[in-house]
């Protein structure tokens, strides 16, 4: 379930602040993090990995005018695609609930040696 409540927006801020260089975003959601990351001067390029083609087709055209950086969209399973990518930072927001996402974030970070830093939604201050 996705929402743009103030509380949910606040949970994304720490990850957004880490964004620099080439950034991978795992999960489109409602696009808030994508939009905010694209505003950062430190960000040069964004790669979005989203499982749902339907979500990309429906939502991305509505927010695309707000994206200020070069954007590549890859539709597929983030757990399979992200380990093949190279980036300065990966921001993962594809978990089903907030909290307790540390094991999944750690596992994906371990499988992604060409990503310098991995942040996971619902992992409090976990940064790998």
Could you report the per-residue pLDDT of 36-76, keeping only the tens digit for each? 999 999 999 999 999 999 999 999 999 999 998 999 999 99
The answer on pLDDT for 81 being more than 70 is: yes
Region of 29 (left: φ > 0; alpha: ψ -120 to 50; beta: rest) is left
Q: What pTM, to 2 d.p., does this model score? A: 0.86
Separation of alpha carbons 118 and 115, rounded Å: 7
Share the mean pLDDT of the chain. Answer: 86
User: Looking at residues 3-32, what average pLDDT do you find?
Assistant: 79
The confidence band for 1, taking pLDDT boundaries of 50, 70 and 90, is: very low
């Amino acid at each position: 379930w996705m929402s743009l409540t103030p509380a949910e927006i606040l949970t994304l801020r720490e990850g957004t602040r880490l964004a620099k260089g080439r950034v991978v975003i795992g999960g489109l959601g409602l696009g808030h993090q994508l939009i905010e990351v694209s505003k950062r001067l430190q960000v040069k390029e964004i790669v979005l990995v989203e499982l749902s083609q339907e979500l990309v087709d429906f939502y991305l055209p509505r927010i695309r005018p707000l994206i200020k950086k070069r954007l590549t969209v890859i539709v597929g399973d983030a757990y399979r695609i992200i380990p093949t990518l190279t980036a300065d930072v990966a921001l993962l927001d594809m978990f089903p609930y907030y909290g307790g996402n540390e094991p999944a974030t750690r596992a994906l970070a371990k499988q992604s040696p060409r990503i310098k830093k991995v942040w996971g939604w619902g992992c409090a201050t976990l940064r790998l």
